[in-house]
């Protein structure tokens, strides 16, 4: 069934525009409490550093209390930390207030089940059905209680450190960590510092408005500059809610999610702990597929979105998957994408192999790839646009089996993503430009 409010990654939009309003969040908290909890159950709520997070935290808290569900407030915490704490605090659900890599004027809500995984579609549909009903508050002696969890950051820091061998030290490594002025600002530097690295932290001064602004995984130019200036061994760029990571090697070159996924999978294979294959997405670089195949590692593609990567991982009995954007899932370590944990797996591979990040990524040759985001004002059905379909067929014929074309509406932003990849960089650029122009004219 089509969903009214939930998209591919929860509920997201511009603050003040329905459904991202205080009024709606009050009702959403109540509806979620009715569906997910009972009297005496608890729900944990965490958020990133957007100024609107305080408003939505209060609204959700009030709605949950009205439904008779207790609340544990985590404050600013990374999305994967909320998944972890939902499990360890034995909560019936976790709620994340975040718009991930978007600018501060956006916000959104994501839910985790009691196991720290995304909610199934039928549960989201049940919450939507409850939202449309009249809100009824439980009797006063049944109201939910709220309290803050004071040691949330410390608990999560210790968990992150536990995902690599206790004997492994990062001593001797100089690392620049960019926290995007987001939810990891008070935990990520401590994780790497406590493991022995020399840490240079940037993007750790959130003011409610500067999240993801000229920093973080979506804008890594500052990180590249500082890595070179400080002659660091590498840089780590997280996004606003901490579930994505990209890295920078000592030469200042970007190492994206596809390359990180290859490094982690290859390291697991060498130590004999890689079970099953690797799951990427329709956007994963063809070079990743070829590099894994050359090392006898199975590769499969899911639809774009971490929930679909997770579904295919479970279906194929595999443990490692992710997206080129840096959203990497290591099911042998945790239940969801985690930027800090993923970075630690790469650092572990470096220390164990004695190789630099630059050398490790050399095992995979990326194909030239170009993606153009075409803004749209409404939902677009690309399959019903003859001009677009004709342009795609023509591009595929010119690539002659030596590349790929993919057109995909974004699940989180009003965009159509036009992607072309192939062996020849100039041809890739030309084909992408032509296709983007056709799509822009059609929509």
Other residues' Cβ atoms within 10 Å of the Cβ of residue 174: 17
H helix runs in 145-285, sequence order? 152-161, 188-194, 221-229, 257-271
Comparing C-alpha atoms, which of 87, 44, 67, 8 is closest to residue 304? 8
Active-site annotation holds for 318: no
Joined tokens for residue 329: 């899932």
Joined tokens for residue 62: 């009030």
Rg (CA), the chain: 22
Q: Are the C-beta atoms of residues 290 and 269 closer than 8 Å to each other? A: no
Fill in the DSSP letter of residue 142: G
Other residues' Cβ atoms within 10 Å of the Cβ of residue 270: 13
> Rounded to whole angstroms, how far apart are CA atoms 157 and 194?
9
- Assign 437 to helix, strand or coil: helix
Comparing C-alpha atoms, which of 298, 216, 214 is closest to residue 254? 216
> Rounded to whole angstroms, how far apart are CA atoms 72 and 82?
11
Q: Are the C-beta atoms of residues 145 and 70 closer than 8 Å to each other? A: yes
Catalytic-role residue among 52, 65, 98, 100? 100
Q: Which residues are bridge partners to 110 per DSSP?
A: 96
The set of catalytic residues is 100
């Amino acid at each position: 069934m089509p969903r009214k409010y939930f998209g591919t990654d929860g509920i997201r939009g511009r603050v003040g525009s329905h459904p991202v309003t205080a009024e709606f969040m009050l009702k959403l908290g109540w509806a979620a409490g009715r569906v997910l909890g009972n009297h005496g159950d608890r729900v944990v709520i965490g958020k990133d550093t957007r100024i609107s997070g305080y408003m939505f935290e209060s609204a959700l808290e009030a709605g949950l209390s009205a439904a008779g569900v207790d609340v544990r407030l985590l404050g600013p915490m990374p999305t994967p930390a909320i998944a972890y704490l939902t499990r360890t605090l034995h909560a019936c659900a976790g709620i994340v207030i975040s718009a991930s890599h978007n600018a501060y004027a956006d916000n959104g809500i994501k839910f985790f089940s009691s196991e720290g995984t995304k909610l199934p579609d039928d549960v989201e549909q049940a919450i939507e059905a409850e939202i449309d009903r009249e809100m009824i508050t439980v009797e006063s002696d049944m109201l939910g209680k709220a309290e803050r969890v004071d040691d949330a950051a410390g608990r999560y820091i210790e968990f992150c450190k536990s995902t690599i061998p206790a004997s492994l030290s990062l001593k001797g490594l100089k690392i620049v960590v960019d926290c995007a002025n987001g939810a990891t600002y008070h935990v990520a530097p401590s994780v790497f510092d406590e493991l022995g690295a020399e840490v240079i932290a940037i993007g750790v001064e959130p003011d409610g408005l500067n999240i993801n602004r000229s920093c973080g995984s979506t804008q890594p130019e500052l990180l590249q500059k500082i890595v070179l200036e400080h002659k660091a061994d590498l840089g780590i760029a997280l996004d606003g809610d901490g579930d994505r990571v990209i890295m920078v090697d000592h030469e200042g070159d970007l190492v994206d999610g596809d390359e990180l996924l290859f490094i982690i999978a290859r390291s697991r294979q060498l130590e004999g702990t890689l079970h099953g294959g690797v799951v990427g997405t329709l956007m994963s670089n063809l070079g990743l597929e070829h590099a894994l195949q050359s090392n006898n590692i199975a590769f499969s593609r899911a639809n774009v979105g971490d929930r679909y990567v997770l579904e295919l991982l479970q279906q194929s009995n595999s443990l490692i998957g992710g997206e080129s954007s840096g959203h990497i899932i290591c099911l042998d370590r945790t239940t969801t994408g985690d930027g800090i944990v993923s970075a630690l797996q790469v650092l572990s591979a470096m220390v164990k192999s004695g190789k630099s990040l630059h050398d490790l990524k050399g095992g995979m040759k990326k194909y030239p790839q170009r993606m153009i985001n075409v803004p749209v004002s409404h939902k677009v059905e690309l399959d019903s646009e003859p001009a677009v379909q004709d342009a795609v067929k023509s591009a595929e014929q010119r690539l002659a089996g030596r590349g790929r074309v993919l057109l995909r509406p974004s699940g989180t932003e009003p965009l159509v993503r036009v992607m072309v990849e192939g062996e020849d960089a100039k041809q890739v650029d030309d084909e992408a430009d032509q296709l983007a122009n056709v799509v822009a004219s059609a929509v």
